[in-house]
């Protein structure tokens, strides 16, 4: 296997979560205070391997984007995603993980 394929991990859980919440790349870029770019978010969604700091930056932006859509009652119940919840190549990733925010996701 060449180095190029080793760094591509396929679609990530973050992509499914963003789709469920109706978020696009711009939503994360817009709320981030850490100079997150559209290209970085797209790489995260498609499975291009990111550094730990970049995974954490994307996770923080995702949490803020979702948090801004919740009311006060939902915010009390909200579980903040961390990088191991979102990326299959992160240390501590569990393929059997169930989204604790599934009940908060708005119906389509």
Within a domain: 103: no
Whether the pLDDT of residue 108 is over 80: the answer is: no
DSSP string, 45-90: HHTB---HHHHHHHHHHHHHHHHTT--HHHHHHPPPP-HHHH-TTS
- Is residue 93 within 8 Å of 87, Cβ to Cβ? yes
Within a domain: 105: no
Q: How many domains does the structure of the chain reveal?
A: 1
Within a domain: 21: yes
The reported pLDDT for the residue numbered 65 is 98
Q: Is the pTM of this model over 0.95?
A: no
Which tokens in the block code for residue 74? 């939902």
Domain span holding position 72: 3-93
Within a domain: 106: no
Within a domain: 99: no
The reported pLDDT for the residue numbered 4 is 64
The whole-angstrom separation of Cα 31 and Cα 28 is: 5
Cα torsion at 25, 11, 55, 23 (round to 10°)? 30
Which tokens in the block code for residue 35? 């100079």
Q: What pLDDT digit, counting tens, does each position of 82-102 carry?
A: 999 999 999 999 999 999 999
For residue 5, what pLDDT band results from cuts at 50, 70 and 90?
confident
């Amino acid at each position: 296997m060449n180095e190029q394929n080793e760094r591509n991990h396929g679609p990530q859980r973050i992509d499914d979560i963003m789709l469920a919440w109706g978020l696009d790349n711009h939503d994360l870029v817009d709320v981030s205070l850490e100079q997150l770019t559209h290209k970085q978010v797209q790489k995260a969604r498609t499975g291009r391997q990111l550094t730990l700091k970049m995974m954490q930056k994307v996770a923080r932006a995702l949490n803020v984007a979702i948090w801004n859509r919740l009311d006060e009652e939902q915010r009390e119940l909200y579980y903040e995603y961390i990088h191991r919840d979102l990326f299959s190549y992160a240390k501590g990733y569990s393929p059997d993980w169930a989204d604790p925010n599934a009940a908060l996701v708005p119906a389509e």
